[in-house]
Chain A
Amino acid sequence: GNSVTQMEGPVTLSEEAFLTINCTYTATGYPSLFWYVQYPGEGLQLLLKATKADDKGSNKGFEATYRKETTSFHLEKGSVQVSDSAVYFCAPPFGASKIIFGSGTRLSIRP
């Protein structure tokens, strides 16, 4: 079946470090892929999305490229800040079937 698999957490980094959170998908072809972020005490919100293969989504300094050859959609940020501490979820479209989010990847940034 179709699914996404993302890196288990937690991830702890120092401020200004480089971040990568891995996400891979198995699918016959998703029209798009998404990264959501959940800040403490809040619901999930869309961070970025890519709508086709080779497309790059970006927002708040985060980037992810939808790579068909490696079936990946890894989330990256060149220099993380304390305010980036949150839980991150990779997910397929809110489409014809239910979305399974799992535990996400908890990111903690040390000052």
Chain B
Amino acid sequence: DARVTQTPRHKVTEMGQEVTMRCQPILGHNTVFWYRQTMMQGLELLAYFRNRAPLDDSGMPKDRFSAEMPDATLATLKIQPSEPRDSAVYFCASGLTGGNTEAFFGQGTRLTVV
């Protein structure tokens, strides 16, 4: 089965450290989304890419977060420096634009910043 792969699954880090989360979208998918999920805010959209170009990152704190797609098989979300309020589960989703297609989600990266 084709699936979206996220690494690491869990990450515990100290405040101030850099965190990098990785996502391998399903081969052939041209759109990638990054979401953050917390109990308080639900599932928030951070950024999304189409054909590797960033289309919208308005949901992302620009001073510390950055998202890139160095190639079609890898999307990264970086936090530098990390803060305790960044603790959440971060999901990557991929899909094809146009038509009746659904989003395919990874298992998420659970980030804890202490």
- Which residues of A are at the interface with B, using a C-beta cutoff of 8 A? 31-32, 34, 36, 42-46, 49, 51, 89, 91, 93-96, 98-104
Contact = CB atoms under 8 A, between A and B. Distances in A.
Contact of B42 (A46, A98, A103): A103
Given A49-B102, A100-B45, 4 more contacts: A32-B100, A34-B102, A93-B102, A104-B43
A52 to B, nearest CB: 9
Given A95-B97, A101-B35, A46 B43 contact: no
Interface of B: 4, 31, 33, 35, 41-43, 45, 48, 55-56, 91, 93, 95-103, 105-108
Contacts of B45: 98-101
A99 B103 contact: yes
Interface of A, helix, strand, loop or mixed by DSSP: loop
Contacts of B4: 43
B102 A43 contact: no
Contacts of B33: 98-99
Nearest to B102: A46
Which 10 pairs between the two chains have the least Cβ-Cβ distance? Answer: A103-B42, A43-B105, A32-B100, A94-B95, A101-B43, A94-B103, A44-B105, A46-B102, A51-B100, A94-B101
